[in-house]
Structure 1
């Protein structure tokens, strides 16, 4: 596994498995997407590798309706 930059207080953030899923400490917790204002449970944080080599962290949020949406992982915070 590789380690990416983390924010203070999230020491385990950034551990990425071979499937591209990050072992994020907030997975399973209620979160708010600051971009949309929506709230739900953080289902996963995945890493997408783009053709130019950039790695983009994507958060997958599942609201009570069950229809997930994705946002930049940096947009997720505890409500």
Structure 2
């Protein structure tokens, strides 16, 4: 299975903790912003759910071929 990449735009992140609640194994709060636990992860719907739930759309999830999985535009 191909890995996904997770990026968090820390300048846009408000640190609401939505992502840590939805996908605690993939995100953590680092001070007042979120950061991915690992930048490359096995595919997990919780990661997409977290990106889609981010109020600032600060989380970007890409497939192995570079296409954007979340957030959906």
Work out whether the TM-score is over 0.5.
no
Q: TM-score, normalization: structure 1?
A: 0.34
Q: Could you say which structure has the higher helix fraction?
A: 2
TM-score by length of 2: 0.35
Structure with greater contact order relative to length (CA < 8 Å, sep ≥ 6): 2
More strand, by proportion: 1
